[in-house]
Amino acid sequence: MSENRFVIQSLHEVSHRLAIFEDDGTSGWLYLSAPDELKPIGDVWVHNRIEAPPVADIKNYFGGPPPAAAGYTEDSLRCHDPEDHSWSFAWDVTGEIVALLCDGCPIALLASFERRGWSTKLLRSGPWGNEWSNSTYFKYFPEV
């Protein structure tokens, strides 16, 4: 386990789903669990802490979730230290949809009925998740 590991979580009272944001020192990911379980049913990449590797090098990142590859994100979007930010979760009333906020701004979104979520730092959709969609976010969080 990396000494640079950063983890926060939130359990929804109604759905009994757990949202976990975990940064292992290489990349950060948001996970959503099944009710009353720790097993993730959905995920989305949130950020890299390292330079985005070429797609061909992603296979070298085993034993943990891989960083997003070059072309899917830009190095200017890296998060050097998640502890320098304020992180929080926003849930819809049913507990089936969760957003991760960084310094009060939505940065990632997961829904229990979608395998992959949305991330503001993805330049295009792919194996790390879907490119951010304001219309999707405001569909689930219209009051924000």
Half-sphere exposure of 120 (CA within 13 A, CB side): 15
Q: What percent of the chain has pLDDT over 90?
A: 90
Q: What are phi and psi of 77, to 5 degrees?
A: -95, 5
Which element (helix H / strand E) includes 138? helix 134-140
Tell me the per-residue pLDDT of 74-110, one tens digit each, with 9 for 90 and over: 999 999 999 999 999 999 999 999 999 999 999 999 9
Flag whether pLDDT at 134 surpasses 60. yes
- The 8-class DSSP code of residue 12 comes to -
Average pLDDT over residues 129-138: 96
pLDDT of residue 124: 96
pLDDT of residue 4: 82
pTM for this entry? 0.94
